[in-house]
Chains A and B, each alone.
Chain A
Amino acid sequence: MKLRTTLMGAAGVLAMATAAMAERGSDGNVNILYWQAVSIMNPYLSGGTKDIEAASLVIEPLARFDAGGVLVPFLAEDIPTVQNGGVSEDLTTITWKLKPGLVWSDGTAVTSADVVFTWQYCTAEGGGCAQGAKFTGVTNVEAVDELTVRVTFDGPTPYPYGPFVGGQSPVIQAAQFADCLGPRAPECTQANTYPIGTGPFTVTNFVPDDVVTLAANPNYRDPAKPAFATVTFKGGGDALAAGRAVLETGEFDYAWNLQLAPDVIEGMAAAGKGTVVAAFGTNVERIEMNLTNPSPDLPEGERATVKHPHPILTDARVREALSIAINRDIIDEVGYGPAGQPTCNLVPAPALYASDNTACLTQDLDRANALLDEAGWVRGADGIREKDGMRLSLLYQTSTNAVRQDVQALVKADWEAIGVETELRNVSAGVFFGGDPASPDTFQRFYADVQMYTNNFEGNDPQAYLAAYACDKIPSPESGWQGENINRICDPVYEAMIAELAAAREPEVRGEIAKRMNDWLTKDNNIIVPLIYRGRVSAHANTLGGVQLNSFDSELWNIADWYRID
């Protein structure tokens, strides 16, 4: 915690000391290292973070989220709200105004037709657009005039900042992508790798999965920016090697996503060549409880479905005992360090939506034992609790990853202390998170009692995220095991809150409902047991200034403001 505060303070000082901002291209080259290499420069064809962030240097949305999760206009003149008339009174339309005089890197004017085209591109039949969710509920996008565009939704939409907002949904040039609609989208290799954009840089050379070289956009809207003339965006290797290249050998200026053990990262930072920075968005590492019975004795097709409630975990007292038995401080110290803090919330940020729920932070084995006693689980001869001849034994699965296996071992020790037998299992991430309906090991199938992973929501509104726990989103054989309601929650109380949030207009009211939903899922029912509020950790050279790590949007969102410190 201390290290993190100091680091963020240091970053803040550097950002403020925006020294002599010289002219465009005066600071030479900046070297960026992403250990997952860039595959494509089009976020509509790949949802991968690395691809979205590389593309963010070139193509921009109408508005982005800043490091605090607040919307700031990029291509738009301002953020439309009900107060300024940009959002209609009935909440069904939002009208964006583009900044006047904007041009693409090829010199042609940016118009509302490009914005309309972007919508058509992502919603074209057969295109497989990765950002399709950004446009759900959008019935029409029309150009009112050259610089004004109106988005119409199919009903009142209290949070209309989905389309064209954030790194996932940038505006692309209609002229360049005109022949790339629908099934033709992946065939446009030139457009997908050398997009014409409005951002501070343009691609000069693209080698898939290896390196992207970029040069300052001669038509960028701020004539003094960017300070760097060129960018080398190298990919490959692993997080350890990336950290080494910035912090120890100083070959690179910026390394992304250093998911490393806290002691390793501190050791590298001690070399004094670079600075480690962290930022927190909405990522929460959590344990999810299965409310249905995953027993292999059940016939295939009924296993882990709502037909068979879980014999142990449907008891709220058992779930609460499991949650308060966990020592979250140790997990944070061993696995996350500056990149995490213990949490009890599913929605940890922004402040408007974050509940003050901290009850789970102190480990309470006595109360956990008492709860299990009360639920009728009594200790057997070997210390494991039993009830009606059934042992209190749980299968705990997660994806294969060094930190997660450490956490599994810690949680197992905590649970065994209260007489819960725990069997651990880990599945390769490619299989666990892949939605292959034929595989029994995916997290959607949930053929285990509890499982652990991280999820988050994009942007700063948790409505869709919280609405995932609806009855009709339960993965089942009928839905091809697709669905986001992994825990199989189906409760009329929660359904009512989903409807309430969807209809609420005032931010304060929305915040209050979201907090109630968060508390219902976590502290009231313990169906979701949050463990760690995870941040992003990156490193930059001490000679690189202006870095403002952002966890709500692309990390490189303000690269136009980066500069070299001599």
Chain B
Amino acid sequence: MLTFVFRRLLLSIPTLLVIGLVVFLLLDLAPGDPLANQPLSIPPEVREQMRAALGLDKPVYVQFFLWLYQFFVVEPLVLIDRTFGTAFAADQVRILSWQFRSPVMDVIWQRMPQTLWVVGMAYLVGVLIAIPIGIISAVRQYSIFDQIGTLISMIGFSVPTFFTGVLLIVIFSVNLGWLPSIYDTQLVVNDWASFWQQVRQMIMPVAVLALFNASQISRYMRASMLDNLTQDYVRTARAKGVRENAVVMRHVLRNSLIPVVTVIALGVPTIFGGAIITEQVFKVNGIGQLLISAIQNNDIPMVQTLTFIFAVLIVLFNLIADVLYGLLDPRIRYD
């Protein structure tokens, strides 16, 4: 097992380097200009100086290697400095955003809490709803419950979040006035009142995203349960006189969870990626909103760093899913 993990980790290094290069070249070839949103009253010669100050006048390979050096050497050194109070990176230039002119990593770090709270909570809620729905739908196949579950999944899957989000705002913020339509990222939870405020501002974005997540996972859960319910071992268990409850919960559920756990693990990186549309609708201003505004403003260092971090997470969680598979299913061994 350890050698398997080690081999996979080694293999992921060239994969990630290629991803980094491809992303960089794509961004470089894409049309657009980081100064496009500056007013027209700024004359061309000033624009030229601004471009030079961003390092845009340097050749592409220099820009790429500079970014690599900053990402793999300077940023870890900064982290070490922060943790141990050393000063290795004192005079090194960090990856600076073109929009904010401040270190990319600090901004990402600031954005993490609200993204993890909202998108992570939505994922958790989605999973917690999806698994029981999937189980009941499979056991009572074609019952009323199953039909309604299918209908809701279809709606959750096919109606875009920019529609459900705005619909909820119009109902609960504009008409009823119960919930805030704008998320306060700086809210400090230190008593029951602020906790209640946090809950209220999370209800709508979490509901919108949880509906989407639950639709997807409940379908996997249902399909996997149905596969297992017709297996021979289920018939054997029933023939031995095991109670139906025990058959479903102990035998079928555990076996059905194997593929679902993989799907859930592979979905975890998307939590860190944020939810571009939902964050924009509710002004959560997390990682998703950061990525989209960086793309709109051609903030290449920010887009490059964010997409690279996503790539690392996806590679990592693929590995975790594989390892989990081995732990859950005794038939799979990596030796």
A residues adjacent to B (C-beta < 8 A): 33, 37, 39-40, 42, 45-49, 126-133, 183, 185-187, 189, 192-193, 205, 207-211, 213, 234-238, 241, 244-245, 248-249, 251-252, 428-436, 439, 441, 453, 455-458, 464-465, 479, 482-484
Contact = CB atoms under 8 A, between A and B. Distances in A.
Interface in B163-184: 169, 173-174, 177, 180-182, 184
Which of A234, A236, A244 has the largest count of B CB atoms less than 10 A from its CB? A236
Which of B31, B52, B99, B174 has the largest count of A CB atoms less than 10 A from its CB? B31
Contacts of A479: 44
Nearest to A212: B186
B35 A39 contact: no
Given A37-B293, A234-B283, A245 B49 contact: no
Contacts of B53: 126-128, 183, 185-186
B107 interface: yes
A33 B182 contact: yes
Majority SS of interface residues in chain B?
loop
B244 interface: no
Interface of B: 31-54, 93, 96-97, 99-103, 106-107, 110-111, 169, 173-174, 177, 180-182, 184-186, 280-281, 283, 285, 289-290, 293, 296-298
B328 to A, nearest CB: 40
A455 B54 CA distance: 25
Contact of B93 (A40, A187, A435, A458): A187
Contacts, number: 175
Contacts of A46: 38, 99, 101
A168 to B, nearest CB: 9
Contact of B185 (A33, A192, A210): A210
Nearest to B47: A435
Contacts of B45: 132, 482
Contacts of B38: 46-48, 130
Contacts of B186: 205, 207, 211, 213
A236 B289 contact: yes
Contacts of A245: 181-182
B42 A128 contact: no
Given A128-B50, A482-B47, A49 B102 contact: no
Given A37-B293, A40-B101, A482-B45, 8 more contacts: A47-B39, A128-B51, A133-B41, A208-B107, A234-B283, A238-B280, A241-B169, A430-B36
B46 A434 contact: no
A433 to B, nearest CB: 5
B41 A457 contact: yes
Which of A127, A128, A129 has the largest count of B CB atoms less than 10 A from its CB? A128
Contacts of A251: 173, 180-182
Contacts of A47: 38-39, 41-42
Contacts of B174: 244, 248-249
23 contacts: A40-B99, A40-B100, A47-B39, A126-B52, A128-B54, A129-B49, A187-B93, A192-B101, A192-B102, A213-B186, A234-B182, A236-B280, A236-B283, A237-B283, A241-B181, A248-B174, A251-B173, A251-B182, A252-B182, A434-B298, A441-B31, A482-B45, A482-B47
Given A209-B107, A236-B283, A482-B47, A39 B36 contact: no
B99 A39 contact: yes
A436 B31 contact: yes
A441 B297 CA distance: 17
A249 B283 CA distance: 15
Contacts of B296: 430
Nearest to A247: B174
Nearest to B43: A133
Nearest to A213: B186
Contacts of A458: 41
Nearest to A282: B41
A434 B283 CA distance: 27
Given A187-B96, A236-B283, A435 B44 contact: yes
B99 A132 contact: no
B43 A237 contact: no
B39 A49 contact: yes
Contacts of B32: 428, 430-431, 434, 436
Given A189-B103, A208-B100, A132 B49 contact: yes
Nearest to A473: B44
Contact of A456 (B41, B102, B111, B173): B41
Contacts of A39: 99-101
Contacts of A482: 44-45, 47-48
Given A244-B174, A435-B33, A211 B47 contact: no
Q: Which are the 10 A-B pairs with shortest beta-carbon distances?
A: A128-B53, A434-B33, A434-B36, A482-B44, A186-B101, A132-B46, A208-B100, A210-B285, A128-B50, A189-B102
Contacts of B103: 189
Contacts of B35: 434-435
Nearest to A475: B44
A268 to B, nearest CB: 10
Contacts of A431: 31-33, 36
A37 B285 contact: yes
Contacts of B47: 435, 482
